[in-house]
Amino acid sequence: MLSSIHSKEKQTFESDLVDSRQTSRPSSAEVVEESVPRDEEKGIEPAHYAEKPFDARSTKTTESVIPPPPDGGLHAWLKVFGGFMIYINIWGFTLSYGAFQAYYKSDLLSSASPSAISWIGTVQAWLLIFFGVLSGPLFDLGYFRVMLIVGNFLVVFGIMMLSLSTQYWQVFLSQGICMGLGAGLLYIPSLALVGIWFDKKRAIALGIVMSGIAVGGVIYIIMFDRLLKSSGFPWAMRAIGFVALAAALLSIPALLSGSSVLATKRKARALFDKTAYKDKLFLIFTCCSFSTFLGYIVPYFYIPTYARDRLGLSQSSGLYTLVMAIAASFFGRLVSGALAQWLGPIVTWALCTAASAILSLCWISVDTEPKFIAFSILWGFFSAALVTLPSAAFANITPDLSRLGTRLGMSWSVSSIATLIGAPIADPANGTTDQQSPRSRVL
C-alpha cells in the first residue's frame, strides 16, 4: 500500500513539474516577438513573425504576416525615396497641366474649346484618384510588384506617345487615359508601402513622399517652358519622358527592397460599406470633400491662361506664376501638417478650406501682375491642405477603424467626380472663351 501511495505521489509530482515547465516556457509567438527588436538592432530582417489580432490603427492583421513597423533603417527610408519619385511623376505632372492647357489652347489644339482641353487634365486626375481607390484590393492581394511595373510603364509610355500626338483624341488617350491609369496603379503602393514600414515617424515619412508633388511640378513646368522654345513640343515631351523614366527606374527597386515580408497575401478590404450611408458624419464629410475638390484644381489649370489672356503677360510669366503656386504648396503642406498636430486635422482642414474660398473670391478683383502673383502664392499655400488633410480627418469621424479604408475609398470615389467636372464647368462659366469672367472664379 505504501509503495502504491508513493507511486501515485511520484506521478502527481512529475505531472505538476511538466505543467509548470509548459506554463513557464514562453510560446513560440513570444519568442519571435521578443527576437524582432534584437534582430533589427543588428540590421537583420527577421524571417518569421507571430500573427497578431487585428488592429485598425496598424498594418498588422490576422491574415498578414507583416512585421511591426521598424520606423527606420535602410529599407524603410528607401521606401520613402521610392514614393517621393512616384509622386514626382503622378501628382507633379497632374498639377502641371496648366502649362499644357495654355499651350494646347494657343497652339497644338487651338481648334478645340478650353473646356474640351481641360477634360484631358481632369480625366487624368480623376483616374489617378478613382482607379487608385479601386486598385487598393489588388495591393492587399499581393500584386504590388505588378502594379509598380505596369503603372510606371503606362506613365512613361503615355508621355512618349504624347510627344507624337497632333490631334485632340491622340492627346486625350495618351495624357488623359494612359497616364491616368498608370498613375492610379501607382497611387496606393507609393503610400501603403511607406506606411507599412513606419509608425511613429509615419507622418514625417509621408510628408517627404508628398513633397514630390511640388518638386515634380516645378521641374516639369520649367523643363516644358525652356524646351518648348528651343526644341519644340515633341522633343520637350521626350526629354520629360526620359526624366520620368529615370524616376520610375529609381522608384521600383527602392519600393521593392525588403518586400519579402509582404510575400503572404492578405484579405482584400471591401470596396463598399452600406452602413456608411446611415452615418450622418460620413455624408456631411463626403459632401464637404466633394465641394472642396470641385474648385481645388481649377486655379492650377487656369493660372497660365489667365495671366496671358486677362493680364497680358507672356507665356513664360504665366508658367512661372504657376511654379510659384506649386512651390508654395510645398510649404503649405509642412505648415498645415504641423498645425494639424496642434489643432487637429478637421479644424485645420476647415480653416484652410475657408481661406481658399476667400482667396477665390478675391481673385475677382485681381487685375495686375503683383496681385496675381500674391494670389497664386497664397492659393498654393492654403490649398495644399485640401487634399492631404482629409485622410487624417476621416479617421476622427469613423467609429469603427477596421472600416476606415473602405469608407475613405468610398468618400474619395465621390470626390474624384468633382475633380473630373470642376475645371470643364469653370471654363463655360466664363461666358466667353477669350475673356475670363468673375463667374468661374466664384465657382
d(Cα 308, Cα 315) in Å, to the nearest integer? 6
Query: Can you give the residue ranges of every domain in the chain?
Result: 74-268, 271-420+431-443
Is residue 181 scored above 90 in pLDDT?
yes
Residue 190 banded pLDDT, cuts 50, 70, 90: confident
Neighbours of 363 (CB within 10 A): 22
d(Cα 401, Cα 160) in Å, to the nearest integer? 42
Residue 326 banded pLDDT, cuts 50, 70, 90: very high
User: Is 378 within 8 Å of 324 (Cβ atoms)?
Assistant: no
Residue 265 banded pLDDT, cuts 50, 70, 90: low
Cell numbers of 164, please? Answer: 507624337
What would the CATH number be for the domain defined by 74-268?
1.20.1250.20
Backbone angles phi, psi at 143, to 5 degrees: -95, 25
Q: What whole-number percentage of the chain has pLDDT above 90?
A: 34
- On the question of a common fold for 74-268 and 271-420+431-443, the answer reads yes
Is residue 442 scored above 60 in pLDDT?
no
Q: 328-350, pLDDT tens digit by residue?
A: 999 998 888 888 878 888 888 89
Mean pLDDT of the chain: 79
Residue 42 banded pLDDT, cuts 50, 70, 90: very low
Instruction: Tell me what pLDDT residue 262 has.
Output: 57
Q: Select the more confidently predicted residue: 271 or 239.
A: 239
Residue (of 134, 127, 136) closest to 155 by Cα position = 127
What's the whole-number mean pLDDT along residues 404-418? Answer: 81
Instruction: Please list, in sequence order, all residues whose beta carbon lies within 8 angstroms of the beta carbon of residue 240, skipping any fewer than 6 positions away.
Output: 159, 220, 223, 224, 227
Q: 220-254, pLDDT tens digit by residue?
A: 999 999 999 999 999 999 999 999 999 999 999 99
Instruction: Tell me what pLDDT residue 69 has.
Output: 65
**Which DSSP string corresponds to 205-231?**
HHHHHHTHHHHHHHHHHHHHHHHHHHT
Residue 260 banded pLDDT, cuts 50, 70, 90: low
Is residue 141 scored above 80 in pLDDT?
no
Is residue 54 scored above 70 in pLDDT?
no
Is residue 203 scored above 50 in pLDDT?
yes
Cell numbers of 108, please? Answer: 497644338
What would the CATH number be for the domain defined by 271-420+431-443?
1.20.1250.20
What's the whole-number mean pLDDT along residues 360-389? Answer: 90
Instruction: Tell me what pLDDT residue 120 has.
Output: 95
Instruction: Tell me what pLDDT residue 1 has.
Output: 44
Residue 402 banded pLDDT, cuts 50, 70, 90: low
Is residue 272 scored above 80 in pLDDT?
no
Cell numbers of 260, please? Answer: 519579402
Q: 93-125, pLDDT tens digit by residue?
A: 898 999 999 999 988 998 998 889 999 999 999
Cell numbers of 119, please? Answer: 477634360
d(Cα 417, Cα 274) in Å, to the nearest integer? 20
Residue (of 116, 121, 92, 94) closest to 105 by Cα position = 116
d(Cα 121, Cα 166) in Å, to the nearest integer? 17
Q: pTM for the complete prediction?
A: 0.76
What's the whole-number mean pLDDT along residues 155-165? Answer: 96
Residue 401 banded pLDDT, cuts 50, 70, 90: low
Q: 64-84, pLDDT tens digit by residue?
A: 445 666 777 888 899 899 999
